[in-house]
């Protein structure tokens, strides 16, 4: 199954590889978060905090801010964001269809639910309400209340229920309204879901998908800005993937549903309105594979989810400064795709990991250990790791920005590492 | 003559209020059955055969060979106007089968006790002796399409549900031939073919998982129920209430079976629960409380409960008043929180195997010597299976990494790249 998925991806997705996703947030997206995203970032000038309003086109194109908070008065590139680039071949420019990330997730979900009647979605407000992030909007009308099951607010038991249903022949998808709420279902996920295939000696499989938005949003407060990948990564038997673009969101959603193992699909609150052109043909991505976003020679930057876009922003600055970074979106958080990563390390000999997890016990910590263990001889420099601060995410905007890795920090880190 | 029902009921109410010494009450609510032969040809109003294992028997056959059995302890009902009947039919074959099944479980648990003390079984070992009637009665009332899920006290249910002695002992001793390949242990016995979903270590998880099993039955339009078994200690878990809410909300065909053995490890029920009844915890789910030491009561109650679920009325709670002779697990002597007299008293008065034995002897289906030789035979069978399991090989080293994921070969792991 993995090889056919790979083949599909290679043939169908070739024209779309390596294109940075446009961050164009369409005016029709009326979610609260689209509006919140459109506000510009504050910049620090000296000791004063000022909000700088960027011009209208950049406001829409720029969900994450162009201005690095640097107090050195450095001449900054105002349009250093991902914009629509000219495609080399015009023939491919019109193929496929454009959609937002949450629509890509919905498309993947829709295709799988149509294909297999045992696929069902279980979560809060997934049915009649259409999902708190509109991922399942309109699906309850199509598939009915049983397949898009609105649950009471009882994560422990409905996750347990989904696991029991998965043991007994269904393929449920559990949606946590926010990943942080799944902490209440930790026992079910860690003890029951991850371990059953092993403790039963292979008698049962749990083909469950647990998905939901996580990560630091826009001033959502500490409890709603959790990064659960660090907690679940040491549970044996689980697979974890993180999507970052509409293309890989749809592919990973389909792959996760078709997988016989329990898969946790980490989405990000701020990425739901990302727009990209994806193929019309059906495609399924490989769950265990990393994505080469930008080939390069100087340094390997490993990242996933929202930080991919911060990295790509930083890459624009780096390219203008003459660096040639290779960017890999690791996508598979458990297990790591050490094959792709290793090949890249062997080429560039320097690694920078940019992640949104906390410094302590995050994905970066494990990845660092894995690379050091396997590719120590290839490294010319210590592995750099930029992570979020070990701080509960504060509510105040400027403070929140400080907890998360920003593009100027990435630029600085690359410059430091490349000195080796 | 049996106790008048009013007195039995009053004593049970006293029992619940915890006013009297626990041991004495258990002794006093003794169950002396009477065999009141019904008028030949009399039909019982409540036909249960469609769910039982004897469904294939013709009614003529039944009437010819069946004997009536009284279920003396009255059912206590919650939000139900009528409960299961207080009498039922049984046959010689059935009685011998129940005797044999329960004796097998009893002997298996005693052997497991010996094996644990000689360190052949390690870790945790939770024994089921005393509660055999629940397992045998439950399985008798269900079909192979129904799902059963329980907690860690699963040896008896594994055997009753069609597991073999050899696989059970192998798993307890951590051998390759165990039902879970030696990787689960005492608390993780599973039998996927017979829809026995185990075998879970965390108290209370059987309820949400059982809700999931019943959800799958409903989703796939199967005419079967899921039985989720938990104990009096687990009944105070939040996830039990959550699961009850989900099951009632969506009318899931779920039977919540409470094996009330009155102790949550060392804590008596009245020290852990504000309300020491478990069948009427939730006002929107009906329930019934039965004598869990009477295999016929369990059988009738589960048949009744299955019919309740199958008619679309949603979940139902069945509380079985039962008792475990051993402690909570092998590390618990079981006498620090209850008296030896109490345990001995229950053995004398309420033992499930003795109940069936008395019936067999009274009806003359077998003599005491026959039963004794049957006991010997069972003992030999169990000990042979244990010896065979002792000789079985340990799991191979590469079993360590097997079954972490399905389709292991496609995945490369950090730390043990293959």
pLDDT tens, residue by residue, A353-410: 999 999 999 999 999 999 999 999 999 999 999 999 999 999 998 999 999 999 999 9
Strand extents, DSSP E, B339-386: none
State the Cα–Cα distance between residues A409 and A413, nearest whole angstrom.
6
Token pair for A369:
């250990």
pLDDT recorded at residue A93? 56
- Cβ pair B185, B174 in contact under 8 A: yes
A-chain CB neighbours of B190 within 8 Å are 200-201, 203-204
Per-residue pLDDT at B117: 95
User: Over the Cα atoms of chain B, what is R_g?
Assistant: 21
**Complex prediction ipTM:** 0.76
- Cβ partners under 8 Å of residue B13, min gap 6: none
Strands A239-242 and A332-334: antiparallel
Strands laid side by side in the B76-78 sheet: B76-78, B287-291, B316-321, B254-260, B226-231, B147-149
Helix, coil or strand: residue A407 = helix
Q: What is the pLDDT of residues A48-77, one digit of tens each?
A: 333 333 333 333 223 333 334 444 444 444
What is the nearest CA distance from B151 to chain A, expressed in angstroms? 12
In this prediction, residue B53 carries a pLDDT of 41
Mean pLDDT, residues A207-234 taken together: 93
Measure the CA–CA gap between B374 and B99, rounded to whole angstroms: 9
DSSP code, position A22: B
Take residue B260 and report the two structure tokens written for it.
């009330």
By the 8 A CB rule, do A300 and A326 touch?
yes
Give yes or no: A155 in active site: yes
Environment class of residue A344 by beta-carbon count within 10 Å: exposed (0-12), middle (13-18) or buried (19+)?
buried
Number of Cβ pairs closer than 8 Å across A and B? 167
pLDDT recorded at residue B21: 43
Which of B13, B50, B5 lies closest to B32, judged by CA?
A: B5
The C-alpha atoms of residue B264 and residue B233 are separated, in whole angstroms, by: 4
Residue owning tokens 């490989």? A286
- B217 CB neighbours in chain A (<8 A) are 168
Is the distance from CB of B286 to CB of B316 less than 8 angstroms?
yes
Q: Comparing A92-101, A126-135, A206-215, A243-252, which segment has the lowest mean pLDDT?
A: A92-101
Integer Cα distance of B346 and B352 in angstroms: 10
The answer to whether A160 faces chain B, any CB pair under 8 Å, is: yes
CA distances from residue A399 to A35, A391, A420, B141 in whole angstroms, order as listed = 20, 10, 32, 63
Across the interface, do B212 and A205 touch by the CB < 8 Å criterion?
no
Known catalytic residue: A86?
A: no
CA A70 to chain centre: 27
**How far, in Å, CA of B34 to CA of B141, rounded?**
23
Beta strand spans in A299-341 (E): 299-303, 325-329, 332-334
Q: Given pLDDT bands bounded at 50, 70 and 90, which one contains residue A95?
A: confident
Contact B106, B157 (CB under 8 A): no
A29 vs A304, more confident: A304
Is A32 a residue whose pLDDT tops 50? no
pLDDT of B72 reads 95
Strands A325-329 and A291-294 come out as: antiparallel
Low-confidence ranges of chain B (pLDDT < 70): 1-64, 408-418
Give residue A27's pLDDT.
Answer: 36
* Beta carbons of A239 and A289 less than 8 angstroms apart: no
pTM: 0.78
B188 contacts in chain A (CB < 8 Å): 199-200
Residue the block writes with tokens 């970052």: A244
Chain B: residue whose CA lies nearest to A159: B208
Helix (H, G, I), strand (E, B) or coil at B69: strand
Are residues B209 and A163, on separate chains, in Cβ contact within 8 Å?
A: yes
- pLDDT given at position A59: 30
CB contact under 8 A, B179 and A201: yes
Q: Is the pLDDT of residue A96 over 80?
A: yes
Q: Which of A368, A354, A358, A365 is nearest to A389 (CA)?
A: A358
pLDDT at A309: 96
Which one of B242, B282, B398, B412 makes the best mutation probe of the A interface by having the most chain A beta carbons within 10 Å?
Answer: B242
> Chain B residue closest to A189 (CA)?
B205
d(Cα B157, Cα A62) in Å, to the nearest integer?
61
Contact between chains at A335 and B200 (C-beta distance less than 8 A): no
CB B105 within 8 A of CB B155: yes
CB of A266 within 8 Å of a chain B CB? The answer is no
The phi and psi torsions of B324 (rounded to 5 degrees) equal -110, 130
Q: Cα(B121)–Cα(B169) distance, rounded to whole angstroms? A: 9
pLDDT of residue B16: 52
Residue of B nearest to A162 (CA): B212
Mean pLDDT of A176-189: 94
- Calculate the dihedral angle through the C-alpha atoms of A200, B187, B110, B177, rounding to the nearest 10 degrees: 20
- Give the Cα separation of B194 and B409 in Å (integer): 28
Best of B218, B403, B409 to mutate (most A CBs within 10 Å, chain A): B403
Q: Between chains, do B215 and A164 touch, taking CB under 8 Å as contact?
A: yes
Residue partners of B138: CB distance under 8 A and separation at least 6? B148, B157, B160, B227, B257, B298, B299, B302
């Amino acid at each position: 199954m993995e090889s056919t998925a790979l083949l599909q991806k290679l043939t169908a997705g070739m024209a779309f590889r390596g294109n940075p996703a446009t961050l164009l947030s369409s005016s029709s997206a009326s979610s609260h978060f689209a509006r919140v995203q459109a506000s510009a970032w504050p910049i620090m000038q000296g000791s004063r905090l000022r909000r700088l309003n960027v011009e209208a086109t950049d406001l829409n194109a720029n969900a994450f801010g162009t201005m690095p908070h640097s107090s050195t008065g450095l001449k900054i590139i105002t349009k250093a964001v991902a914009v629509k680039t000219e495609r080399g071949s015009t023939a491919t420019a019109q193929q496929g269809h454009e959609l937002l990330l949450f629509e890509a997730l919905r498309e993947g979900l829709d295709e799988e639910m149509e294909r297999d009647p045992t696929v069902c979605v279980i979560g809060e407000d997934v049915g009649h309400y259409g999902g708190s992030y509109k991922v399942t909007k309109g699906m309850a009308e199509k598939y009915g209340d049983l397949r898009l099951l609105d649950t009471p607010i009882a994560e422990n038991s409905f996750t347990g229920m989904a696991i029991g249903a998965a043991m007994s022949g269904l393929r449920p998808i559990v949606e946590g309204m926010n990943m942080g709420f799944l902490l209440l279902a930790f026992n079910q996920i860690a003890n029951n879901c991850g371990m059953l295939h092993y403790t039963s000696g292979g008698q049962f499989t749990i083909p469950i998908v647990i998905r939901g938005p996580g990560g630091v949003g826009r001033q959502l407060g500490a409890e709603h800005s959790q990064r659960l990948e660090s907690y679940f990564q040491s549970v044996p038997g689980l697979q974890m993937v993180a999507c970052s673009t509409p293309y890989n969101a749809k592919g990973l959603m389909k792959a996760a549903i078709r997988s016989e193992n329990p898969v946790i699909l980490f989405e990000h609150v701020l990425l739901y309105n990302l727009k990209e052109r994806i193929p019309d043909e059906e495609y399924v991505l490989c769950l265990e594979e990393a994505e080469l976003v930008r080939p390069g020679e100087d340094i390997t930057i490993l990242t996933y989810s929202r930080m991919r876009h911060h990295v790509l922003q930083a890459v624009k600055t780096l390219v203008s400064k003459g660096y040639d970074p290779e960017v890999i979106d690791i996508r598979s958080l458990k297990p790591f795709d050490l094959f792709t990563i290793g090949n890249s390390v062997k080429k560039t000999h320097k690694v920078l990991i940019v992640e949104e997890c906390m410094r302590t016990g995050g994905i970066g910590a494990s990845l660092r250990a894995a690379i050091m263990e396997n590719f120590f001889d290839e490294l010319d420099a210590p592995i750099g790791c930029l992570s979020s601060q070990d701080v509960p995410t504060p509510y105040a905007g400027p403070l929140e920005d400080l907890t998360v890795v920003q593009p100027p920090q990435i630029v600085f880190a690359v410059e430091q590492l490349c000195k080796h | 003559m049996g106790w008048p029902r009013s007195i039995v009921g009053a004593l049970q109410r006293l029992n619940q209020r915890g006013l009297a010494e626990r041991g004495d009450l258990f002794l006093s609510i003794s169950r002396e059955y009477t065999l009141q032969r019904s008028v030949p040809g009399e039909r019982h109003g409540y036909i249960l055969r469609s769910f039982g294992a004897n469904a294939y028997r013709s009614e003529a056959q039944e009437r010819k060979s069946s004997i009536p059995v009284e279920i003396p302890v009255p059912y206590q009902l919650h939000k139900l106007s009528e409960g299961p009947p207080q009498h039922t039919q049984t046959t010689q074959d059935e009685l011998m089968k129940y005797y044999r099944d329960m004796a097998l479980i009893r002997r298996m648990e005693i052997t497991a006790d010996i094996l644990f003390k000689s360190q052949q079984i390690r870790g945790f070992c939770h024994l089921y002796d005393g509660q055999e009637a629940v397992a045998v009665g439950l399985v008798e009332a269900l079909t192979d399409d129904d799902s059963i899920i329980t907690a860690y006290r699963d040896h008896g249910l594994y055997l009753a549900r069609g597991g073999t002695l050899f696989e059970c002992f192998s798993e307890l001793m951590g051998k390759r031939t165990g039902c879970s390949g030696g990787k689960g242990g005492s608390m993780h016995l599973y039998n996927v073919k017979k829809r026995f979903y185990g075998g879970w270590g965390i108290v209370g998880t059987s309820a949400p998982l059982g809700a999931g099993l019943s959800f799958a039955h409903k989703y796939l339009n199967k005419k079967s129920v899921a039985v989720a078994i938990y104990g009096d200690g687990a009944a105070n878990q939040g996830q039990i209430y959550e699961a009850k809410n989900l099951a009632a909300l969506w009318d899931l065909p779920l039977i919540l079976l409470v094996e009330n053995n009155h102790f949550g490890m060392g804590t008596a029920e009245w020290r852990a629960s504000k309300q020491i009844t478990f069948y009427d915890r939730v006002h929107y789910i009906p329930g019934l409380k039965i004598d869990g030491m009477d295999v016929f009561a369990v059988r009738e109650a589960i048949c009744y409960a299955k019919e309740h679920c199958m008619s679309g009325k949603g979940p139902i709670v069945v509380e079985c008043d039962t008792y475990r002779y051993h402690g909570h697990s092998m590390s618990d002597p079981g006498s620090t929180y209850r008296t030896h007299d109490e345990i001995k008293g229950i053995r004398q008065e309420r033992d499930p195997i003795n109940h069936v034995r008395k019936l067999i002897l009274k009806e003359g289906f077998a003599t005491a010597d026959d039963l004794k030789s049957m006991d010997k035979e069972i003992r030999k069978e169990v000990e042979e299976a244990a010896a065979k399991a002792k000789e079985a090989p340990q799991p191979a080293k590469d079993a360590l990494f097997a079954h972490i994921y399905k389709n292991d070969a496609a995945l490369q792991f950090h730390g043990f790249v293959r």
